[in-house]
Amino acid sequence: MEENIFKLEQEHLTTTYEKLLKMNNELEEDIRSLDNQATEEKNDIRDNIRLDFADDETKAETYGELEVWNRYIDTYNVQSEALRNKKTRIESLLKAPYFAKIQLQFDPSEEPESYYIGNVEMSENGATPIVVDWRSPIAEVYYNQENGHTFYEVNGNRIDVDLQLRRQFDLDKDKLNSYFDTQIAIEDPLLLRSLSRQRSDKMQSISATIQKEQNAVIRHPDVPALLVSGIAGSGKTSVLLQRIAYLFYKQRENLRPDQVYMITLNPVFREYIDSVLPDLGESNPNTLTWQEFMDSCSIPMADKNPAATDGRDLEAIDDMLSLLIPDDGDFLPVYQKDELILSAKEVQSVVEKFAQTIPMGVRLVQVAATELETRARRVFKNRKRDNHEKQPGEEKAAENQLENDYGGALKTIRNCGWLNYDAISKRLIGHSPSAIEWFYLKMSLTGMCDRNARYCMVDEVQNYTKAQMMILKKFFPRAKFMLLGDEFQAIRPGTVTFNELKDLFSTDKKSTDTISLLTSYRSSPEITSLFTSLLPEEIRVETQSVQREGTEPVIKACTNEEYIKVLKETIKESTNEEGLCALVCQNKKSLNYVREVLGKEAPEVITGDKKLPKEGAILIELAHAAGLEFDSVIIPDADSSRYPDDKLSRHRLYTAMSRATSRISVLSEGNMTPLLTPTSF
């Protein structure tokens, strides 16, 4: 029976693969044909178009011809892009056409129908589905993981079905390696096989192995704010990327990648995840670190220590700004290079005139900016005034000349460069502003924001401050937020609590939706047991690992004399096995010490935007390791001085240990951290 099923499924795979290959070849021919046609048309334009600007009539004719040809070219570009996008999707499927099959009974009087599910959708002749997209409504019954009576929804309409078969495949192009008929997540062979594979230098899509609790996050209703709290290794980042792909699919007619922002901790992590969405047929959204986000907003100071900014100062700006009375020092003069256009007193007088009826804030600043530009233009015209009579068309030419000659001053006025944010900040909060306070004050005064953004996703949210989250909420006023993190991986002091996040993103009409993920898909049961030993009892008892049993952790306190020898031996043992070994050091000082004692045998240090190697050993700071995973982890500095028994050290050790998937060694030079005792793992 099984041999017959295997044969039938292999035949179906072969047929599907041949169809995809044929479609791919036809697309290549269509693209070549279209490109040749476009080249001929462009040559025709070059040879035949007559550029004549002798008089108004011939100008109009010339512009008309150019417009017609531009439309032709635009049409070719649209057709070419559509063909190339389809080809990209087919090429993705040619790696493995699908990963699952469901058999559904819609009506007892009719034959069951089978659907094959893959990373992207593909239809034959635009009608008959060859592969169903994993994000489609019908595919949800696969992720619900329960055979029998179930349902899915299409445009709000419930469709009841019987799920008779949930089959998973392990494919390599047109070769069927194996198949499994399963329905229970924890016994999912495809999941276990996927998890047992050696980690890559790039994060992979989890479309084939999305579990029921993860699916609940990915397909969660489109709410103003969603907070996902998950233990280390629960797949939070993978779920985030799959949700972005899901949102693109659901809103494919009106959601663009430039309308989605993902804020990530460091460039190393961005490199690690940058291939997931393209593999799903989607473009990456705007992916920025915090500093890159600040730089993109042209904040004229470095945000060296975000934790130094107290969210209460931003709240004070909100509370007190409308009560502020314009005063000397709040305003700056407007210059065109070295030429004074408007003095600070003139600027102040304009603001004070409107402040009699409008409180300090966005509306007042906008009204004042309009009046200041009017006055500035009057100054420009007075300085450019001619005595001769203006000729037809000269007025427009003079306006263009004015923009050219005085563009710097006009830009200063329009960008509200006449506001002295430092002085205003001192009056509001009593001190010179940090970069965050300066930015928040500017937004509060000028209305500076991104109204185009539809979504803002923040990964590892536990490592941001309340003030940083207030900045994001204010800068993206129309965006819906998805916040993912693990409160117990907060490795910096002064970061936001999850209760503060719930309060910040809840509104009068809607509270923040929250979902917990408590299953570890990353680490072996032994490693999971080790790092979850640092969690509160009520959370620890609910956590589990679905990985197969692995190697027992090594916890060793070394004397000063034996430390270097043990460390080198541990590195050698860890790198004898395939995969990547990371020496995760708590901070830069600790990393430099380890590198010094290892001397010439010290591994490469990974910082900034360096790409992770596929194998060997690396040295990395904990701050750069957050969000990453490694086959083997060595914590070479787990002594009692670096990891004392306090909350922050507990979080840091939990984070460092949970980077490991299959092997972990915790070493100390001298006394071992009191956070690890014989009864804690």
Binding residues for ATP: 230-237
CB neighbours of 502 closer than 8 A, spacing ≥ 6?
Answer: 227, 511, 512, 514
Contact 122, 19 (CB under 8 A): no
Say if strands 630-635 and 660-669 run parallel, antiparallel, or are unpaired. Answer: parallel
Cα separation, 402 vs 654, in Å, equals 62
**Torsion angle of alpha carbons 412, 415, 417, 419, nearest 10°?**
140
Tokens (6 digits) for 378: 């009057």
Sign of the dihedral through C-alpha 541, 544, 548, 554: negative
What secondary structure letter does DSSP report for 528? H
Cβ neighbours, 10 Å, residue 670: 12
The residues that bridge with 581 in the sheet, in sequence order, are: 617, 632
**Torsion angle of alpha carbons 279, 282, 286, 287, nearest 10°?**
-20
SS3 271: helix
Tokens (6 digits) for 638: 């787990």
Cα separation, 617 vs 571, in Å, equals 8
Which run of H or of E encompasses 426? Answer: helix 421-429
DSSP character string of 598-615:
HGGGPPEEE-TTPPPPSS
Tokens (6 digits) for 304: 């060296």
Phi and psi for 58 in degrees, rounded to 5? -70, -30
Which run of H or of E encompasses 513? Answer: strand 513-517
Cα separation, 440 vs 88, in Å, equals 42
Q: Which residues of 266-288 are buried (b: 16+ CB within 10 A; e: fewer)?
A: bbbbbbbbebbbebbbbebbbbb
Among residues 108, 72, 116, 117, the alpha carbon closest in space to that of 207 is found at 117
How long, in residues, is the chain?
Answer: 681
Contact 614, 580 (CB under 8 A): yes
Cα separation, 322 vs 418, in Å, equals 19
DSSP character string of 454-505:
-EEEESSGGGS-HHHHHHHHHHSTT-EEEEEE-GGG--STTPPPHHHHHHHH
Cα separation, 201 vs 625, in Å, equals 13
The residues that bridge with 116 in the sheet, in sequence order, are: 101
Among residues 385, 81, 134, the alpha carbon closest in space to that of 242 is found at 134
Among residues 101, 87, 89, 80, the alpha carbon closest in space to that of 38 is found at 80
Question: From the annotation, which residues make up the binding site?
Answer: 230-237
Query: What's the longest Cα–Cα distance across the chain?
Result: 101
Q: Which residues of 96-111 are buried (b: 16+ CB within 10 A; e: fewer)?
A: bbbbbbbbbbeeeeee
CB neighbours of 324 closer than 8 A, spacing ≥ 6?
Answer: 360, 424, 427, 428
